[in-house]
């Protein structure tokens, strides 16, 4: 049933209406030549049109009313009484609208069990739920994090994460840690150079989270309780702003194996500043040499290493200078001779 209520609009008091009301108070009443034309002294400095508008405002606000038996005379009314008469219906309308809004909200919420049941059934059949944009992905990520009871792990390739993204995540992550959830995250080595990421990791590590970094990582992934995973949407080379929620046990189990394999070979990272970046220097050099040996272009190397192109080129120049190489080809040969291309 649609609620239709006529809107109540009340004018606001202005200086002209206040001046006319004060005049009526001082005289005990206000004469009017016509229903719209009050008699006001010239000392108020109002034109006839302004006086009419002020009188109309006072009548609508119930601050003036016709004198009993004398419709050509207006008498001032107590502001408290005027407020009760003028504003009371508006307050009743607001209360009615609020009650209607509450009823509609409850009607909509009553459908949630049906929605959840249908979604569970669809997820069971398909094992995949496409989340079209960042807002939808973030909302469901928050919902799943609230349900998580045992473990969450994530793979976060690229450099340091944006400060506003970390600010949005810290409260949610601390809540999971507070429930005893084990939290592990893999970053790339390049994230160690980010001040915002250093501070975030240091704070969460103190609360019990674990972080490690590696030279290269696969695409982003977040897995809760080894039963539900979030992956970025990459159809047609998209930017991955949305997400794909995966519940298929085989797919989730595969992601868990991928994470465990990368975790075992990664370097612990506890955040904070200082020499943390130096700990992964040899690993960075090996990965860089390997990519140079493959003949990868600077843009590809930067993307795979999670660095800006400028930073990547700086690392390449430093490596070639360290090896005393005059070309990339010579650098690869010298690196192999120096044992920089191996896994050790």
Q: Which pLDDT tens digit goes with each residue over 136-185?
A: 888 888 889 999 999 999 999 987 777 777 777 888 899 999 999 999 99
- CA 229 to CA 251: how far, in whole Å? 9
Residue 183 has phi, psi (to 5 degrees) of -125, 125
Neighbouring residues of 31: CB distance < 8 A, sequence distance ≥ 6? 38, 39, 72, 73, 74
pLDDT of residue 274: 57
pLDDT of residue 344: 42
The secondary structure element, H or E, covering residue 78 is: none
- Hunting for tokens 């192999």 — which residue is that? 336
What residue ranges of the chain have pLDDT lower than 70?
1-8, 35-36, 119-120, 122-126, 236-240, 273-278, 327-329, 331-344
The model's pTM is 0.57
Give the side-chain half-sphere CA count within 13 A for 81. Answer: 7
Residue 330 has phi, psi (to 5 degrees) of -65, -35
- 3-class DSSP state of 127: coil
- 3-class DSSP state of 260: helix
Handedness of CA 21, 23, 29, 31 (dihedral sign): negative
pLDDT of residue 277: 62
């Amino acid at each position: 049933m649609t609620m239709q209520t006529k809107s109540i609009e009340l004018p606001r008091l202005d200086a002209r209406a206040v001046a006319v009301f004060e005049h009526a108070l001082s005289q005990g009443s206000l004469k009017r030549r016509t229903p719209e034309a009050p008699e006001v002294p010239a000392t108020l400095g109002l034109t006839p049109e302004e006086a009419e508008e002020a009188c109309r405002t006072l009548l609508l606000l119930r601050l003036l009313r016709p004198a009993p038996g004398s419709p050509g005379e207006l008498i001032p009314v107590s502001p408290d009484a005027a407020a009760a008469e003028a504003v009371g219906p508006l307050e009743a309308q607001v209360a009615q609208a609020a009650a209607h809004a509450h009823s509609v909200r409850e009607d909509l919420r009553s459908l949630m069990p049906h929605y959840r049941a249908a979604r569970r059934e669809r997820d069971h059949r398909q094992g995949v739920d496409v989340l079209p944009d960042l807002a939808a992905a973030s909302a469901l990520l928050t919902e799943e994090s609230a349900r998580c009871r045992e473990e969450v792990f994530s793979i976060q390739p690229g450099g340091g994460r944006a400060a506003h993204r970390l600010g949005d995540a810290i409260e949610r992550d601390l809540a999971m840690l507070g429930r005893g959830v084990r939290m592990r995250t893999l970053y790339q080595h390049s994230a160690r150079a980010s001040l915002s990421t250093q501070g975030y990791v240091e704070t969460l590590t103190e609360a019990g989270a674990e972080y490690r970094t590696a030279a290269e990582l696969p695409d982003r992934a977040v897995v809760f309780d080894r039963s539900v995973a979030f992956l970025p949407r990459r159809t047609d080379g998209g930017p991955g702003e949305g997400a794909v929620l995966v519940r298929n046990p085989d797919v989730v189990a595969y992601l868990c194996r991928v994470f465990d394999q990368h975790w075992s070979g990664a370097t612990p990272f506890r955040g904070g500043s200082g020499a943390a970046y130096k700990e992964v220097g040899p690993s960075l050099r090996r990965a860089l040499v390997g990519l140079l040996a493959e003949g990868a272009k600077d843009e590809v190397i930067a993307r795979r290493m999670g660095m800006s192109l400028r930073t990547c080129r700086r690392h390449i120049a430093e490596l070639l200078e360290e090896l005393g190489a005059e070309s990339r080809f010579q650098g690869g040969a010298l690196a192999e001779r120096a044992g920089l291309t191996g896994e050790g």
